[in-house]
Amino acid sequence: MMKRTLFFLSILVLFIAAAFLHFRYRQAAFIVIDGFTQGTTYHIIVKQPLRKMLTGSTPLIRKDEVDSLLHRFDLSLSIYDPESIISRINKNDTTVRTDHFFNTCFKASRRIYEETNGAFDITVGPLVDAWGFGPEGPEPVDSTKIDSLLQFVGMDKVTLKGNRVIKKDPRILLDVNAIAQGYSVDVMADYIESKGIRDYLVEIGGELKAHGSKGWGSPWKIGVDKPLENNNIPGQDLQIILRLKDHALATSGNYRKFFEKNGVKYGHEIDPHTGYPARNRLLSVTVLTDKCIMADGYATAFMVMGLEKSKQFVEKRKDLDAYFIYSGENGSFKTWSTKGFDKLIEH
């Protein structure tokens, strides 16, 4: 009788201990870090390994390290920092040498440029500035101005040799804003994984990477905004909700960044071939792949290419999934997506 009582008491103690550990795990396993970078916000959620949580040791991910890494990233690729590597290249500083951040971004940009027949091009800097999307604000734009700037556009006019950028004309300007934010997500994801963490969510300015699960095998739930003109707060009015585990996601659209001139609305994606903001039926493009740098670049390229060319492109690629929102008749919203993307939509 005594042995049976001790047995049940042991089971009860183990049950209580397990319940306590479960409660502590649910309460303390997640670390949330957020802040500001690149003129926008960032949010990071990581699930610490259980052994770290139980020992009560210092969190593996620290905000000061996160902010320091993002600052080093800006010192390489931010056109808004006059002392960054890319700004010094644009000012033709002969002493500047590139770093790992710049080289990775340049090579990815070159790949997407070639694959999309120039729809994505980081030499659109002069055109971006002319249309008022650069750090100097808007300038008067006419066809003569655009024609004069097009001679400085094209990644075939710039090369990377070792850690030096060679430009065919000193007036060529680089602008990586259409891909750098996605790349910063990958940089942060690499930092997190270097700490031995496999379950995390990184979001910077709407571009993100979701890896592993948020707990007990559950996927991360991510919302995609409706492309409404006044939908300026991410997550306020959602088009769909995705269930992601090991995906990088980037969305590009013209419903937030645009300006009107003489009654015409101009989006921020510049067509490198014409020099003018792209105008087609696409309102928003969301791309899923394994690297956010590539998702970001492709999303921008698709906004320039338009619906039909983008559909043909993505249907040939096993490494990409996409979701297009475009305008139908009478201003209605229509959508098209790949089969792989459809499987991730929560219904």
Strand ranges for 68-219 from DSSP E: 158-161, 164-167, 200-204, 207-211
Chain centroid offset of residue 16 CA: 44
As beta bridge partners, residue 209 has 202, 248
Residue matched to tokens 């969190």:
59
Instruction: List the Cα angle 272/122/145 in 5-degree steps.
Output: 45
pLDDT value of residue 11: 40
Between 109-113, 255-259, 330-334, the lowest mean confidence (pLDDT) is in: 255-259
Percent of the chain with pLDDT over 70: 80
Listed residue (209, 202, 281, 212) closest to 250, CA to CA: 209
Chain centroid offset of residue 311 CA: 21
Please tell me which residue, 270 or 110, carries the higher pLDDT value: 110
Q: How confident is the model at residue 120 (pLDDT cuts 50, 70, 90)?
A: very high
What radius of gyration do the chain's Cα atoms show?
24
The ranges assigned to domains in the chain are 91-167
pLDDT over threshold 70, residue 50:
no
pLDDT value of residue 253: 84
Rounded CA gap, 52 and 75, in Å? Answer: 33
If you average pLDDT over residues 300-327, what whole number do you get?
Answer: 95
98, with CB counted inside 10 A (0-12, 13-18, 19+), is buried
User: Is the four-CA dihedral 111, 243, 44, 175 of positive or negative sign?
Assistant: positive
The pLDDT tens digits of the residues spanning 260-289 come to: 554 444 556 889 999 988 888 898 999 999
**Which CATH number is correct for 91-167, 3.40.190.10, 1.10.1510.10, 1.10.3980.10, 1.10.10.10?**
1.10.3980.10
Strand ranges for the chain from DSSP E: 30-37, 40-47, 158-161, 164-167, 200-204, 207-211, 220-225, 238-244, 247-253, 258-261, 264-267, 282-289, 321-327, 333-337
